[in-house]
Structure 1
């Protein structure tokens, strides 16, 4: 039976890391914490307006966990740190996608289908993120692991567009930011000889902006239990 060495150092995943030291990726590590700042600012805002809901609180908590997990991954660079990085990412993607899907389906089937879809996205994302080898033809710094997230973002945009929901423009902006971040992540290793620091930290920055836009959409245009949007001031 094969066992996993959770403390084994992982190198070669990013252009910036050239040794297994804890501070081998300063740009990647510090840029990871930007999403924590954005999430905490969102939390302060909703607490002041008393507009927090359990779902929104869970998403903000997951966003904070994403920043912390990413920081651990880009400092310790071990298998356990990688797990701390990907778990909250796919938790956020699955929960956000399931929440939007639930509001866009008929009430009778909405909850079970949303749960199943969320679990499928979470499982697929985790399986792709923790695989030992890259997918066939993956020459884009391992970014193919985020294809399920890209699918969720596009499906979310289609759902809010179909319903003519007022959050559509914000979701569209978040989708554009995610596509941009996907490009930055994909170019990290291929452009390593040109940019020694890599472009992965730009993935963090643009992703942070995408998280901020998604949280803004939920804060400004939450859905009521009847599926009707209620804009907050």
Structure 2
């Protein structure tokens, strides 16, 4: 688990500053966490989401600083944790509180299926945002636009993540840091929506 991981265009070798842009761009998650915490104004749902975004910040920063396998696992687990909790909160907020617990295993199954089909761990999240937007649009809930915008930003973010290793010859820094910047925005947008919807 302590094996060295060289998975990004920017990584120039072992050491804490082997990925300066990838490391520093993680502060977008910290900013998002702070903004969601302040927006929550003491609300439990908002604070939970802010704490999970903060965990993403810590895990992702550790991974891009240390570049070890255990840190990579921590990074993926932190993101998956946010996604699964968010799926439950979405179902609880917009659909049925009684059956909201079903959302997590359903979303986990979707993630596993898309990963096995070669879509990686994040395609399921993109599909989920599209489903959320479509379901709310069908129900004529004005919040559908929030998820449509978040889905569009995430689609761009996912594309930039996939391009990282392909552009090394032209862009030495790669594009992974843009994935961080845009994902911080996505996490803020979807969290803000849940916080606003849960306000009295």
* Cα separation, partners in 2 of 1:36 and 1:105, compared to 1, 3 Å: same
Match of 2:15 in 1: 21
Match of 1:170 in 2: 146
When normalised by structure 1's length, the TM-score is: 0.77
Aligned residue for 2:49, secondary structure, equals helix
**Could you give the per-residue CA deviations for residues 70-100 of structure 1, whole angstroms, max 9, x where no partner exists?**
1001010101111221111011111212322
Matched, 1:67 2:57: yes
* The structure with more radius of gyration: 1
How far the C-alpha of 1:177 sits from its partner, in A, is 0.6
Aligned residue for 2:11, secondary structure, equals coil
Matched, 1:79 2:74: no
How far the C-alpha of 1:45 sits from its partner, in A, is 2.9
Matched, 1:91 2:67: no
- Aligned counterpart in structure 2 of residue 117 of structure 1, from 97, 100, 106: 106
Q: Equivalences for 1:104-183 in 2 at 5 Å?
A: 105=95, 110-121=99-110, 124=112, 128=115, 144-183=120-159
Match of 1:187 in 2: 163
After superposition, the CA RMSD in angstroms is 2.4
Q: Distance in 1 between matches of 2:194 and 2:165?
A: 35
**Could you give the per-residue CA deviations for residues 196-222 of structure 1, whole angstroms, max 9, x where no partner exists?**
000000111111111111122122222
How far the C-alpha of 1:190 sits from its partner, in A, is 0.6
**Could you give the per-residue CA deviations for residues 117-166 of structure 1, whole angstroms, max 9, x where no partner exists?**
244356x29x95xxxxxx78x6xxxx733111112211221222222223
Aligned residue for 2:78, secondary structure, equals helix
Matched, 1:34 2:28: yes
